[in-house]
A and B are shown apart, each in its own frame.
Chain A
Amino acid sequence: MISASTAFQTAIKATVRHLVPRVRIEWTSDSVDATIAVTSNDDNYATRDAQVTDGVTTTPRKWACLDENMIADGTWYPCPSSPDTSQQGWYGATACDNNAEWTTTIPALTVTFEERSVSALLVSGDSVYNEYPVDFTIKIYDVSDTLLHTETVTDNALLVWTKDIASSGINSAKKMVLAITKWSLANRVAKITEFYTSIIDIFEGDDIVSMNLLEESEISDGSIPVGNISANEIDIKLQNIDLIKNGVSIRDPFFYKNTGSYLNVLIKPKRRVTAWIGLVLLDDTIEYVQLGKFWTGDWDASETEATASVTCRDRMELLKNAEYKESVIATDVTLYDLLTTVLTSAKTNIPMADLEYTIDEELKNYTVAFGYFPRQSYFKCIKQIVEACMGQAYMSKLDVLTVVGPSDAGTTTGYAITKDSYYNHTQPAKSDELYNYVSVPVTAITEQDDSSDVYTSDAITLEADEEKIIDIEYSSYPTINVSAALDDPDDDTVVGADIVIVSSVFYSCNATVTIKNNGASSESCKVVLSGTAYDANSDTVVDKSDAGSIAEYGKIKYDYTANHLIQTNVMAATIATTLLDSYKTWRKDTNIVWRGDPCLELRDLIQMPEYKRFGIDNEATFKIYKQKTEFEGYLKSTLDGRKVL
């Protein structure tokens, strides 16, 4: 449950509530624009150019720079190197002269990005050195490299220089170039921490027509709700009449091709959205509770309704669209460690540096002999892990990937929903989730032979000096001890003498091999990978059944999805027994339609009447597994919970 003040907790239960919505949309920032690239004509040996777009304008330390000004007085620190991600920004290589000017090599920084509007400029110097550019120009270009705007600045005396250029009406920028001709101190290199302005809008109150949030830790598709993972979804409808930006009214802001709107080129999928529901408290202040972080799908603008709507999904959707291809076999590994490896890779390789996660310690109780994944989405990897331990995974409202094991007892809240706050209460009997015969397949992973070819390419021809990167998926996997070799392209031709393997990286199911022709004419070869391959067969099945339930309801069979991480009969039997115990009788669920409280999250435990009429008073505790929150000025929630026995 999201924590809120006592005043909020009182106000959300009051007879009369005043609710206020808020939505923040990041149209452009380094976290939503994957195309941002930074280059420079004057890079220092130690520089972090990409950081000039991350929104951070300060540096934590005085990074050592060999520009002949450094002295050993204990105030300088070695420049950060991986994995230290400390802020440094762009460091130039060429020091300015005694007049603090550059006359021959003019240090320049170029940032390219998705086509976007530019309404403000920002150049930030180094906050610890207290150095900054004095004379500089910023040029903005469109996709055809046509110059759209030139900003010439002289005698700047600000560490962080900004300028509003909204009146220039730049709606199709693709590139910005900063060229520095004078610095604040003589004989120094250029140091820029930020040269990119994010576009972020916050919509509140009347601008938001409606918000509908669906959270679920289980998918209601008639299958047994274990090993479930799904993306939460929010539908947002905004008014599309006019938008006030920097004091200027923009008509029909969310229409594509409305070139009068700066949003014209920004209304795209994968923009980051944060949504809140706020409540006006007794002292007239507003306290907001976050509903989650989401990424936009397709936008839809309606002319007759004067609204623009968008469906957004949480971070799980991003994990669905990113591929995990660095899996190496880990032997006798716990599902906890395997998941940690996957999520660490997601942070580094997607990259998704801001990914936060929490994994239930219970996953340490599940060990697999061979932990690996074929090349597939991160989402599918997480799904296979939670399936193998009957766990669940979902994104919390605070954007934390939460993975819980099968014994999860939920989050105790002591939250009571009484007849005073719900409108209707039903007790759905879910016959489609009754099973009394469960079959769980076991994947046996066996070694094929000592060494076998797992990949042979077609003939590859490389022109003189050509280099080629080959992405390879093994014909049989998982495979260990893999090596790459070159072979004759066909029976009549021998492998090119000048072709070499430049580099190779081998994973459990795939590899990347780079080859190069160092010769002066075209040559051919085949690439062959050999290794110790394993077979993964799911021929064995562990069955468990309940005679009593079969006698009462007839045999209702459930075939558990084959999963290469279920590798022992013991593991399969545990899953089958647990499932059978839970699903051999009718589910005891609750469904209520009530006033809603944005603080409640999935897995929270709630207290509510199970039957409270005619002198009978049965209360029970339920764990929330699905929540539908509807905001249209008023707040209403439909909540599904499973009885905690």
Chain B
Amino acid sequence: MMAIKNGDIYLGLAGSEVLISPFGRKYKIGNVEKSRSEYTASGRLVKDVWATKKKITLAYEYIDGDALTVLIDLYDLHEELSIKIYSSPTAYNAYTVLMEPFDSERVILQGNGLWSGVTVELNEV
């Protein structure tokens, strides 16, 4: 197994996570709030919140065929996945996520191919 580096992202079934290609990858993490807001009779805005979940986006301007296959295989599992985002070789944040379907556009046919426009969205369960 390769040495884990700061910024590495591992994704897969819990306990079987694999390194996701870092080349050309943009990483974004944000919160999705499950809530309901409503104005009362006095005009006061009130809100009930029942969950705050992470939304993680991995976007590739270009990705090679092998790295894309890893992502497609993970999506095809249609299972809860575990994602580990390393901030140092020993420290990471882990979430259980579901992967949304994604598109890919072929740029180069030869070899394993080169693809663009791949944006993988992962929603915390």
- Which A residues are closer than 8 A to B by beta carbons? 15-20, 206, 418-425, 594-595, 633-635
Contacts and interface: CB of A to CB of B under 8 A. Distances in A.
B48 A635 contact: yes
Interface string B30-67: 00001110111110111111110000000000000000
A418 B42 contact: yes
B46 A595 contact: yes
Nearest to A425: B41
B40 A633 contact: no
A15 B47 contact: yes
B40 A17 contact: no
Most chain B beta-carbon neighbours within 10 Å: one of A420, A422, A424, A425: A420
Contacts, number: 53
A19 B47 CA distance: 11
Interface string B64-77: 00000000000000
Contacts of B50: 18-20, 633-634
Contact of B49 (A17, A206, A425): A17
Contacts of B38: 423
Given A633-B34, A633-B36, A634-B36, A419 B42 contact: yes
6 contacts: A420-B41, A420-B42, A424-B41, A633-B51, A634-B36, A634-B50
Most chain B beta-carbon neighbours within 10 Å: one of A20, A421, A594, A634: A634
Contact of A423 (B34, B35, B40, B48): B40
Contacts of A635: 48
Given A633-B34, A634-B35, A420 B48 contact: no
B41 A17 contact: no
A420 B48 CA distance: 15
B14 to A, nearest CB: 11
Given A633-B36, A634-B35, A634-B36, A17 B48 contact: yes
B35 A15 contact: no
Nearest to A418: B42
Main secondary structure on B side of the interface with A:
strand
A239 to B, nearest CB: 11
Interface residues of B, number: 17
Contact of A419 (B41, B45, B48, B125): B41
A306 to B, nearest CB: 13
A382 B48 CA distance: 40
B49 A595 contact: no
A634 B51 CA distance: 10
A609 B47 CA distance: 23
6 interchain residue pairs of minimum CB distance? A633-B50, A634-B48, A419-B42, A634-B36, A419-B41, A16-B47
A242 to B, nearest CB: 9
B48 A422 contact: no
Contact of B40 (A19, A20, A206, A422): A422
B32 to A, nearest CB: 13
Contacts of A418: 42
Nearest to B36: A634
Contact of A17 (B45, B47, B51, B125): B47
A420 B47 contact: no
B65 to A, nearest CB: 33
B41 A423 contact: yes
A424 B40 CA distance: 8
A18 B41 contact: no
B38 to A, nearest CB: 6
Given A15-B44, A635-B48, 19 more contacts: A15-B45, A16-B46, A16-B49, A17-B47, A17-B49, A18-B49, A18-B50, A20-B50, A206-B125, A419-B40, A419-B41, A420-B42, A422-B40, A595-B40, A633-B34, A633-B35, A634-B35, A634-B48, A634-B50
Contacts of B45: 15
Contacts of A423: 38-41
B48 A19 contact: yes
Nearest to A17: B48
Nearest to B41: A419
A20 B34 CA distance: 13
B40 A420 contact: yes
Contacts of A206: 51, 125
Interface string B5-45: 00000000000000000000000000000111011111011
Contacts of A422: 40-41
Given A419-B40, A422-B40, A633-B34, A15 B48 contact: no
A206 B80 CA distance: 15
B50 to A, nearest CB: 4
B35 A420 contact: no
Most chain A beta-carbon neighbours within 10 Å: one of B34, B40, B125: B40
A242 B111 CA distance: 42
Contacts of A425: 41
Contacts of B35: 633-634
A185 to B, nearest CB: 49
A609 B27 CA distance: 53
Most chain B beta-carbon neighbours within 10 Å: one of A423, A424, A425: A423
A281 to B, nearest CB: 14
Given A634-B35, A634-B36, A420 B44 contact: yes
A421 B40 contact: yes
A633 B36 CA distance: 8
Most chain A beta-carbon neighbours within 10 Å: one of B36, B41, B44, B125: B41
A637 B46 CA distance: 14
A623 B11 CA distance: 57
Contacts of B36: 633-634
Contacts of B125: 206
Nearest to A633: B50
A18 B47 CA distance: 9
Contacts of A594: 40
Interface in B86-108: none
